[in-house]
Amino acid sequence: MNSTAKSPQLLGLEFDRYCETAAQFWPRNTLPAGEATILVELMTEDIRVSIRNLTIANAIRRFIPAQIVVYTGADEDWNEILWTVLRQTRSGKVGPGIRRRGRHRHPRHRRRTARWRTTQGPPRGREAYTLFPETLVGEGSFRMHSTRQIAEFFEQHLWANRNVLRRSAELTAWRSKSNLGRPSWWRGGGVVSSVEFRTPQERQAIRTHAMDRLGFDRTKPVVAIYNHATSDALNTNVEVFEDLGRWFEETAAFAAAEPTVNWLFVDHPSQAKYDSTGFFDRVAARHTDAEHLVFLPSLELSKNVMWSLVDLGVTVRGSTSAELPVYGIPAIQAGWSEWSGCGFTSVARDEGDYWRLLRDALAGLVEGRSLITEEQIERARLWLWFYRSGGDVASHLVQHWEMGQNEELFNALSVAMRQVESDGDAAFVSTQRMWSRQEPFLTRVDFARGPDSLNEQLGAVRQW
């Protein structure tokens, strides 16, 4: 960074000071630039994402001499463009002249080299997924490869160490109840994202009122369909339907003819940012005569009420399918996600398989047959733990997402660079470990050393 650069986003004097500090810090903590090039995306409007991407790039530069080339929206109105022009003109389709956003964000490199992406949301300090040419098996997009490799890692390091991790996973499951807006980070935190009831009896007390509010038949189960941000990251992973919009429309049509259960259709919490076409409302308008279908904005329901209702969750790749099974509520996926290979959701292979899974689940709900096993619940809790802990690298050089993008963040980053010696910083250690072992993501600890070491690295709560 140029020490004389003015804050391009007018983020304030603290940001400018941070940039000056970073310009002093990084050259002394990396190798001189070499032949290699690291291409870094700075397309997002959120400075926290940019800081994450640049930190990883610089962490790599500690062991690979490389220059950094960033690509960003050159237009000063890029922020506005990002959230307006990129709204789709038709749900599930990308508007004319607009390249798919997923491609923008994850361009294929012409030279074969490793690729990585960082996640953009809370609750993590820093999370990154990587793909090394040497580890590729089969065809597919970045996310498809990533899904396969995560599944493999899950079996090898998480499920195999479940006895060591059980207590931590249990604690994460407890903590997550109080801010279930995470990992559904779109939803935001606070009291509307907490699940406070604990028992079937308490759930039933709330459920009775929730059913009456929506005009549902109290005697029937409830299936929730979670609409997506239908223009975000299109077709970057396996989707069994042509697009997210068609999945939603066809599921609604299926539900209209299936009155054995109540159907709750909720939009994406950030629907307005991703769909200005009124897609959700149009689908709802087709089914106004079906009393067993209710379409609602997601944020009209607190998590307490929504979770009192949902007996089965259905999504393509939504993070709700990672949340619900943690607490014993089954989920069906009509596509792949990071966790879809971890064995705690029912993942459809194709459209036919999706309808088969759905019909079977409905029959199970009506018959009173449980659709989820104890093992699936434990797997879901292990994934939740990994998502919030094992795969979350906390570093002074990044700061936690919840710090926000404000003076406090820039001040904390400046303190980290000026006052804390960088040796052993988790950002550097985890990046070198990931790179040297060609692992699919950053990890907080070294899982390969066996259970005893894992306990030690975690600082586990246990009596020696």
Binding mask 291-310 for other proteins (x = CB under 8 A): ---------x-x-xx-----
Angle made by CA atoms 148, 379, 230, in degrees to the nearest 5: 55
Tokens of 424: 């052993």
The one among 73, 188, 297, 328 contacting other proteins by CB under 8 A: 328
Can you tell me the distance from the alpha carbon of 54 to that of 33, in angstroms, rounded to the nearest whole number? 15
Considering only residues 103 through 142, tell me which ones interact with other proteins, judged by CB under 8 A.
Answer: none
Distances (CA, A) of 184 to 148, 321, 324, 394: 22, 10, 11, 20
Q: Does 267 bind other proteins (CB under 8 A)?
A: no
Q: Does 201 bind other proteins (CB under 8 A)?
A: yes
**Least gap, CB of 362 to other proteins (angstroms):** 11
- Closest of 393, 461, 441, 426 to residue 158, by C-alpha: 441
Q: Does 329 bind other proteins (CB under 8 A)?
A: yes
Can you tell me the distance from the alpha carbon of 145 to that of 138, in angstroms, rounded to the nearest whole number? 8
Considering only residues 207 through 226, tell me which ones interact with other proteins, judged by CB under 8 A.
Answer: 208-209, 212-213, 218-221
**Least gap, CB of 195 to other proteins (angstroms):** 7
Residue-wise over 378-405: b if at least 16 C-beta within 10 A, else e?
bbbbbbbbbbbbbbbbebbbbbbbebeb
**Least gap, CB of 355 to other proteins (angstroms):** 20
Q: Does 173 bind other proteins (CB under 8 A)?
A: yes
How far, rounded to the nearest angstrom, does the alpha carbon of residue 356 sit from its chain's CA centroid? 27
**Least gap, CB of 216 to other proteins (angstroms):** 11
The one among 112, 356, 369, 449 contacting other proteins by CB under 8 A: 369
Q: Provide the 10 A C-beta neighbour count for residue 4.
A: 9
Residue type at position 375? E
Q: Does 375 bind other proteins (CB under 8 A)?
A: no
Which range of residues in 57-65, 164-172, 282-290, 394-402 is near other proteins by CB under 8 A? Answer: 164-172
Instruction: Tell me whether residue 78 or residue 197 sits nearer to other proteins (CB atom).
Output: 197
Contact 441, 148 (CB under 8 A): no
Residue ranges binding other proteins (CB under 8 A): 167, 170-171, 173-174, 177, 191-192, 195-206, 208-209, 212-213, 218-221, 300, 302, 304-305, 311, 326-330, 364-365, 367-372, 374, 377
